[in-house]
Amino acid sequence: MAVSIRLRREGAKNRPYYKVVVADSRSPRDGKFIEIIGRYDPKTPGHNSSLNVDRAEYWISKGAQPSDTVRSLIKRNKKIAAAGEPSSQVEQGTSQPSQEQVSPPPTPTETGTIANQS
């Protein structure tokens, strides 16, 4: 059984939305599939896809052939994941002390007295 990783079209007319699926290469485009591993929305600007890169690599190691578009999505999501990991750890480490220093929002009575003094 030849397995491929490809896009499955969903959405309305002129509003395409794709799911990245692992499917038997003999099944139709929108037909039976083995697993959904991500999504792709070409109409959205910027980062318009999410993909489980670990599952994609697993299926490729088992012999699945990604389509050209899926291959580029995997490459793009790998770059984003590699760039996002160090920054997310830094953000988590610095965000905790800053939360302690933030004062709570003023209560309605405090807001009223401030407005009355002006």
pLDDT higher at 6 or 46: 6
Q: Where are the beta strands (DSSP E) in the chain?
A: 3-12, 15-24, 35-40, 49-51, 65-66
d(CA 52, CA 32): 20
Return the exposure string of 60-94: e unless at least 16 CB atoms fall within 10 Å of the residue's CB, then b.
Answer: beeebebeebbeebbeebeeeeeeeeeeeeeeeee
Q: Dump pLDDT digits (tens) for 18-61.
A: 999 999 989 888 888 899 999 999 998 888 889 999 999 999 99
**What is the per-residue pLDDT for 91?**
46
Count of residues making up the chain: 118
**What is the per-residue pLDDT for 47?**
85
**What is the per-residue pLDDT for 32?**
86
Domains of the chain (ranges plus CATH)?
A: 3-93 (3.30.1320.10)
Strand partners of residue 40? 18, 49
**What is the per-residue pLDDT for 18?**
94
Q: Dump pLDDT digits (tens) for 63-117.
A: 999 999 999 999 999 888 888 776 444 444 444 544 556 555 666 665 555 555 5
Q: Which amino acid is at 39?
A: R
